[in-house]
Amino acid sequence: MRFLLSIFGIVIFLLSVKFGYHLLLAENISGTEFVSLVIAFAVIGLILSFASEVQEFSVAGNIVKLKEVKKDADKSIAELKSARTETFRFLLSLAKRHPGGISGGGTVDGRVEDFSFLYDQIVAFQCEDDLVNDIDDVVNILMKGQLYCISTYSDSLSSKYYGKDITPKPSQLTIEALDNESVEKAASRNVEGGDVGKIKERLVVGLDEYKKLYELHQKLQLKM
């Protein structure tokens, strides 16, 4: 970084000398003005070259404290990043809550869509590593919510997973959820008007969301 700044400072100085010399030849400036111009840009070049070392310099009597400004800026940026992370942490805690109960109907937990949007924002702002435990906590809760929603459309799942701390693999859950006998029992309860085809369509949607959560859980586990 220091080397690049030095090169940049030298380039600025040389360009200013060349520009000033052309102005001098064209008699647009006097010799005194040429010297002042060169000196001014020489100082700027030095400041750029040693920007990381310069504490302060004076321009027309006004003192500019480079390190102080940079230090304050770095501190403000760090505080903003911390505040952003804590805001995401708070929003993740809210993502666990379900307005109006566990499920509002259907095979997709009502919290999944909002969480997906929130997670995308966390990734976009590069906060995932700082919040990995909080994210995984929400994912685990949403997987259980998905299991519940799916089980309302496939009877055999209720007795096997409801109220138990089990997270089956998506492939295993798919086989169990789409079991014909289990789906027909749901149809006999007039789920989706007793339409087996619609029940299976809803199950596929719910299983797809469960798979996304499961894969995210596996990814987060590797980061812990």
Write the pLDDT tens digit of every residue in 166-183: 889 999 999 999 999 999
Write the pLDDT tens digit of every residue in 67-88: 555 666 677 778 788 888 999 9
| Chain-centre distance for alpha carbon 12 | 38
- Polymer length of the chain: 224
Note the pLDDT of residue 102: 44
pLDDT band at 98 (very low <50, low <70, confident <90, very high): confident
Phi, psi at residue 163, to the nearest 5°? Answer: 75, 10
What is the residue extent of each domain of the chain?
2-54, 81-223
CA distances to 46, 67, 161, 162 from 51, in Å = 8, 8, 63, 63
Residue that wins the pLDDT comparison between 207 and 52: 207
